[in-house]
Amino acid sequence: MALTGVLRPGHVAIRVLEMAPALKHYTEVLGLTEVARDPKGRVFLKAWDEHDHHSVVLREADEAGMDYMGWRVDSPATLKKLSADIEKSGLCSDLEWIPAGEHPKTGERFRFTIPTGHVMELFAEKEKLGNNCGTDGPNINPDPWPDGLHGIAPSRFDHCLLYGDDLDGTVKLFTQVLGFGITEQILAGPDKKLMIGVFLSCSNKAHDVAFIRQPVKGKFHHASFELGSWEKVLRAADILSRTKTSIDIGPTRHGITRGETVYFFDPSGNRNEVFAGGYIYYPDKPPITWYDEALGPAIFYHDRTLNEAFLSVFT
Tens digit of pLDDT at every position of the chain (315 positions): 478 899 999 999 999 999 999 999 999 999 999 999 999 999 999 999 999 999 999 999 999 999 999 999 999 999 999 999 999 999 999 999 999 999 999 999 999 999 999 999 999 999 998 777 766 667 788 888 888 899 999 999 999 999 999 999 999 999 999 999 999 999 998 888 899 999 999 999 999 999 999 999 999 999 999 999 999 999 999 999 999 999 998 898 887 899 899 999 999 999 999 999 999 999 999 999 989 887 777 788 777 877 777 877 789
Tell me the residue type at 136: D
- Residues 6 or more apart whose CB falls under 8 angstroms from that of 225 comprise 30, 47, 152, 154, 155, 156, 157, 158, 272, 273, 274, 275
pLDDT at 304: 83
Name the residue ranges covered by the structural domains of the chain: 6-123, 158-312
pLDDT at 137: 67
Q: How far apart are the first and last CA of the chain?
A: 36
Nearest to 148 by CA among 275, 31, 226: 31
Nearest to 176 by CA among 252, 92, 111: 92
- Residues 6 or more apart whose CB falls under 8 angstroms from that of 2 comprise none
Largest CA distance in the chain: 62
Same fold, 6-123 and 158-312: yes
Residue 192 in 3-state DSSP? Answer: coil
Half-sphere CA count of 212, side-chain side, radius 13 A: 17
Q: So which residues are the catalytic ones?
A: 159, 207, 222, 254, 263, 273
**Superfamily assignment of 158-312 in CATH?**
2,3-Dihydroxybiphenyl 1,2-Dioxygenase, domain 1 (3.10.180.10)
Q: What is the CATH number of domain 6-123?
A: 3.10.180.10
Residue 55 in 3-state DSSP? Answer: coil
- Cβ count near 16 (within 10 Å): 24
| Torsion of the alpha carbons at 52, 239, 304 and 210, rounded to the nearest 10 | -20
C-alpha distances (whole Å) from 256 to each of 86, 87, 201, 294, 297 are 29, 33, 14, 11, 8
